[in-house]
Structures are given as structure tokens and as C-alpha cells.
């Protein structure tokens, strides 16, 4: 196997997280006689570089004195008829364009994989409605 192909294989096998030092170590273990500088140069020629994993950042502050909504469901996620219980959540996802906010509302009677009753995505908190 060609060296560039092997480097690409190791790189993609690591989910694009390995840089030249790790790739070189792996190549050495597989009996390729190669230095780190050469791996660096070949990776540059291939246009690949290690992507650092983002560290998880806790964004929920549970220690506050503000009022908390009452738990009406008490973990009973079933209902006898539609429109009896609705649940909602909001989350945000980092994208290249900025933070994308996703709000969803669903009827608990309907199975989650069948239909989300309402969702909204936006790059800011706006009042536009978007049905899923």
C-alpha cells in the first residue's frame, strides 16, 4: 500500500483526530520506517490535519433561586387521549454560522418518532413559526 494511502487510512480511522505524531507512531508499529517530519509533509500535501475534539461545556445552572415549573407528569409519559399532555424543550447547537436554537413541542400521546407537533429553528430568539 502506498504511504499516502496508509496515512489517509489511519487519519480517517481515527475520525480525523490523529496528527502527525500519532500517525507516525502507528506507522512505526506497522513496520514503516518514517519520521514525523515526513508524515507532516505528506499530510500537508494531502491537505489533512488533526481536528481537536471540543470539550463538553455544562450550560445548565441548576443552583439558582428562580422559580421552577411544577412537574405535572411525575415521569408518567403516557396519556389516554391526544392533546392531554404536551412537552417542550429548547436546545442550541453550534454551527459555522453561529448558535442555532431548536425549540420543539410534542404531544405525549403521539410516539416521538411519528411526529413532532411543532418545532422552530432560528439563529436568534424570534417569533416566527416553523412547523416540522
| Residues 20, 34: Cα–Cα separation, whole Å | 11
**Cβ burial 103-129 (10 Å sphere, 16+ → b, else e):** bbebbbeeeeeeeebbebeeeeeeeee
Residue 114: the pLDDT is 58
User: pLDDT of 29-73, one tens digit each?
Assistant: 999 999 999 999 999 999 999 988 778 888 778 888 888 888 888
Q: Which residues contact 45 (CB under 8 A, 6 or more apart)?
A: 4
pLDDT in tens, 86-115: 888 888 888 888 888 888 888 887 765 556
Cell of 43: 499530510
- Contacting residues for 111 by C-beta, under 8 A, at least 6 apart: none
pTM for the full predicted model: 0.45
Amino acid at each position: 500500500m502506498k504511504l499516502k494511502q496508509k496515512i489517509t487510512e489511519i487519519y480517517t480511522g481515527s475520525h480525523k483526530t490523529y496528527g502527525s505524531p500519532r500517525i507516525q507512531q502507528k506507522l512505526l508499529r506497522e513496520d514503516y520506517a518514517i519520521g514525523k517530519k515526513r508524515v507532516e509533509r505528506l499530510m500537508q500535501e494531502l491537505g489533512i490535519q488533526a481536528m481537536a475534539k471540543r470539550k463538553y461545556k455544562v450550560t445548565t445552572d441548576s443552583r439558582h433561586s428562580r422559580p421552577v415549573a411544577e412537574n405535572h407528569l411525575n415521569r408518567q409519559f403516557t396519556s389516554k387521549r391526544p392533546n392531554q399532555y404536551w412537552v417542550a424543550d429548547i436546545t442550541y447547537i453550534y454551527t459555522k454560522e453561529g448558535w442555532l436554537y431548536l425549540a420543539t413541542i410534542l404531544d405525549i400521546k403521539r410516539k416521538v418518532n411519528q411526529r413532532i407537533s411543532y418545532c422552530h429553528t432560528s439563529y436568534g430568539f424570534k417569533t416566527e413559526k416553523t412547523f416540522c
